[in-house]
Structure 1
Amino acid sequence: MSEHDHVAGYLAENIATLRRRRELSQEKLAELAQIPRSTITHMESGSGNPSLTNLCKLAAALGVSIETLLSRPRKASSLLKKDAVPVEKRGNGKVQVHKLMPDKVRGIEIDRMVFTAGGSMAGKPHLQGTKEYLVTLEGCVSVSVDGVTWQVEAGDVLAFPGDQKHGYRNSGKGPAQALSIVLPLPYPTGG
């Protein structure tokens, strides 16, 4: 099978899946994209050879990038068993960082951090414009951000600019766990 056949198959599956998820008929999608319904039918069958203009219109109508349309389809659901979750040891081995996102998405990270007593680690500044949300699940985690230290106890949530220099420390006598969620935030438009 040629690369063209693979891409045509990916395109066909992605269009059909995205259209069904949005509860659109081929006719409604054609109307939104301002292209003939027959063009969508050909693309969904894997026999179409769409122009770049039609791909752009279709991607815009579905709210995705052209890359998403042409990439290998992602399964809607996946289970990552606990033994397969990647774990990084940091802070001289006193902190385990469990990487909870199996998909690589620019600017987004979800990690579970497990600290031994006295464990600490420097945070890695994230992409500019991101915000980090840290919720302590067990114990108390001290988070230093831009010269200020916050005591985040079990159940507390600390939100801070993810692109700033920061660090974490288990400030209790027993183990501590925290969940870190990093998200890109849109820039304020003023107003």
Structure 2
Amino acid sequence: MRELPDEDGWLRSRQRQIGHRVQAIRQQQNLTQDALYLAARLDRRTLQHLEAGTGNPTMATLLRIAYVLDVPLTDLVR
């Protein structure tokens, strides 16, 4: 079992990676943020923060986004 580092920099880095993946997939599908947050029934700010890498999305949020984008959840969080 690995121990967590004292600093949370690795966590912020992973949040940014997830946000960039969501944004990249959304853009590949020619969707606007508005189209995605409305289809996923999310708050606009939730999606904006997630894509910026500053949000802390719930599992439900990630599942909604994956469902709307028609991609496996693993594509977002790998």
Query: Larger relative CO (CA 8 A, sep 6+): 1 or 2?
Result: 2
**Whole-angstrom CA distance in 1 between matches of 2:46 and 2:63:** 13
Q: How many residues align?
A: 70
Structure having the higher helix fraction is 2
Identical columns (%) = 26
TM-score after normalising by structure 1: 0.35
User: What does residue range 99-178 of structure 1 map to in structure 2 within 5 Å?
Assistant: none
Does 2:10 correspond to 1:6? no
**Whole-angstrom CA distance in 2 between matches of 1:6 and 1:38:** 20
Which residue of structure 1 lines up, in the alignment, with residue 46 of structure 2?
39
Give the alignment's Cα RMSD to 1 decimal.
1.0
Which residue of structure 1 lines up, in the alignment, with residue 76 of structure 2?
69
Q: List gaps (5 residues or longer) in structure 1.
A: 72-191
1:56 equivalent among 45, 63, 70: 63
**Whole-angstrom CA distance in 1 between matches of 2:21 and 2:27:** 10
Instruction: Give 2:21's aligned amino acid.
Output: N
Q: List gaps (5 residues or longer) in structure 2.
A: 1-8
Which whole-Å deviations, capped at 9, do the CAs of 1:111-169 have from their partners, x for residues lacking one? xxxxxxxxxxxxxxxxxxxxxxxxxxxxxxxxxxxxxxxxxxxxxxxxxxxxxxxxxxx
The 3-state SS of whatever aligns with 1:15 is helix
Q: CA deviation at 1:34?
A: 1.1
Does 2:35 correspond to 1:28? yes
Which residue of structure 2 lines up, in the alignment, with residue 83 of structure 1?
none
Instruction: Give 2:70's aligned amino acid.
Output: G
Instruction: Give 2:60's aligned amino acid.
Output: T
Q: CA deviation at 1:6?
A: 2.7
Tell which structure's C-alpha radius of gyration is larger. 1
**Whole-angstrom CA distance in 1 between matches of 2:32 and 2:44:** 10
